[in-house]
Amino acid sequence: MHIHSHGTSRIKLHALIAFSLLFVAVSVGAQQKKAPPPGVLVAVASQKQLTKSTQLLGKTLAVNDVSIRARVSGYLLEKNFKEGSEVLKDSLLFRLDPKIYQSIVNADKAGVSEAKTLLARTSADYARYSELSRKDYVSQQDLDLSKANKLQAISALEAANAKLARSEIDLADTQLHAPINGRVGRASASVGNLIDSSSGELVRLVELDPIYVNFNIAEAQLLTLQDRERERKNTGGANEYYNIQIILPDGQLHPQFGTIDFVDNAINPLTGTILIRARFGNPQKNLVPGFNVLVEISSEEEKSELTIPQVSVQEDQTGYFVMLVDKSNTVEKRQLSLGRKVGIDWVVNDGLTPGDRVIVSGVQKVRPGIIVNPEPAPAMILEN
């Protein structure tokens, strides 16, 4: 009896466990069925009329870029600027010890005075000998010698003046001034250093407003721009056919429009492109030489292009992509080929069709293959 009772208890226990597991499974399944699909905000890929444009790689460079170097030797007494600051034209940047050069100037001034005295004496002698010669009181040889002495004194004065001018230049060169308005870089010498002409660049000074941007354009594009510009002039158009702007490394658009001020005189045979330089205002001086930028050349003509909000675009090791919501509200990952950025939008070259819905908010809650509850995104989401 005892053995039979124990076996019955085990059967009941197993049945209870099985029932409990079944109950839990049914409950979880019911909860999963009841859980609503995650909500996401979507925007629709749409065709927009945009001005035709081309984006090219460019690099900024200074309109004026000056290397400040010493022309005379001496100990550096003063450095009169803060590194990285703006300085005005003719501002004193460095001052070398002038004592030696001042003493040379003083000596050369004395030499000029001596030469002037000699010229005055020889001129008076020549005038006197000329008067006496007319009365035959002196020989022609004495007159010629007097004239030669005067000419020699004239040459001596010219040499003394030239020597003084040179020493005054050397004295002036102990002070190094800014030849342009601009921003100074890092100084390579400290006060107390012995400086001479072999010391190299003491500091670099660059003018930042305006600023140049160099870029290369294909010969066919150049011909098109030139043809359209000729058409504009022939028809009396008031504005240029194209606008030139630059997109900064952070994606922001530089607010100043540029003007082309130089086109090279030959096509590069290796690349089939030609070098062009544009000039941009840079009043905030936020552009410095060496920036890699995108040069955007846009025309007055418009074309229809497919666009999506920039906030919908993501990037991984395979490139750019979006999370797409299809007609059955199922999420799909779609790789894209993108063009230029226009305002808050991005032009889509390939990968989407008009009407496709892309997720702009809530993408962290989804994965390909799941069903979502899409809602149109408000404008403020798209602008962020």
CA distance 28 to 202: 77
Q: Which domains does the chain have, with CATH numbers?
A: 39-50+305-383 (2.40.420.20), 53-63+208-302 (2.40.30.170), 71-97+174-206 (2.40.50.100), 98-172 (1.10.287.470)
pLDDT on residue 380: 74
> Pairing mode, if any, of strands 175-177 and 92-96?
antiparallel
pLDDT cut 90: percent of the chain above it: 53
Lowest model confidence (mean pLDDT) among 50-59, 60-69, 87-96, 190-199: 50-59
How many Å from the N-terminal Cα to the C-terminal Cα in the chain?
79
Cis peptide bond prior to 210, omega within 30° of 0 = yes
CA distance 371 to 373: 7
Alpha helix (H) ranges present in 138-297? 140-172, 219-234
- Report whether pLDDT(239) > 80: no
By the 8 A CB rule, do 81 and 239 touch?
no
Would you say the C-alpha torsion 68, 72, 75, 78 has a positive or negative sign?
Answer: negative
Name the residue with higher pLDDT: 341 or 172. Answer: 172
Average pLDDT score over residue span 220-248:
72
Alpha helix (H) ranges present in 35-174? 99-134, 140-172
Task: Give the mean pLDDT of the chain.
Answer: 85
CA distance 73 to 165: 18
* 298-313 pLDDT tens trace: 776 677 889 999 999 9
* 260-296 pLDDT tens trace: 888 888 888 898 899 999 999 999 998 999 999 999 8
Structure-block tokens of residue 364: 């962290």
Lowest model confidence (mean pLDDT) among 2-16, 49-63, 157-171, 368-382: 2-16
**DSSP 3-state of 8:** helix
Sort 272 into a burial class: Cβ within 10 Å, 0-12 / 13-18 / 19+: exposed
pLDDT on residue 238: 47
Q: Nearest-CA neighbor of 298 among 239, 344, 355, 352?
A: 239
- Report whether pLDDT(96) > 60: yes
pLDDT on residue 2: 47
- Report whether pLDDT(226) > 70: yes
Report angle CA 294, 300, 305 to the nearest 5 degrees.
70
Q: Tell me which amino acid residue 90 is.
A: D
